[in-house]
């Protein structure tokens, strides 16, 4: 199983041990662009054309709600890949 497959599995299982860097890597691989906060804040915004922006705070641990948001995006991404 590749690193990508393990990451996707952990996200789909909403693993509470996921880190910000892992969620950011998954979103980036799916075409999102990370925008850093301008004033030294901790909330990073991920944008992708045609999709609503996602804001995730860079905190440890990541709250479950943010993992669930990324999980929903991953599920949609996998469904789109299956269609093509």
- CA atoms in the 13 A half-sphere facing the CB of 1: 7
**pTM of the shown model:** 0.89
Strand intervals (E) in the chain: 33-35, 43-48, 51-57
Domain definitions of the chain by residue range: 3-83
The number of angstroms, rounded, from the C-alpha of 42 to the middle of its chain's C-alpha atoms is 16
> For 3-83, CATH number?
3.30.920
Comparing CA positions, the residue from 66, 78, 28 lying closest to residue 48 is 28
- pLDDT tens, position by position, for the chain (84 residues)? 899 899 999 999 988 899 999 999 999 999 999 998 888 788 999 999 999 999 999 988 899 999 999 999 999 988 888 877
| Cα 26-71-2 angle, rounded to 5 deg | 45
């Amino acid at each position: 199983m590749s690193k990508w497959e393990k990451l996707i599995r952990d996200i789909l299982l909403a693993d509470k041990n996921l880190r910000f860097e892992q969620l950011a890597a998954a979103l980036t691989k799916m075409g999102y662009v990370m925008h850093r906060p301008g004033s030294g804040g901790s909330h990073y915004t991920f944008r992708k054309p045609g999709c609503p922006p996602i804001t995730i705070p860079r905190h440890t641990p990541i709250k479950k709600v943010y993992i669930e948001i990324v999980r929903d995006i991953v599920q949609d991404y996998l469904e789109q890949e299956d269609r093509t």
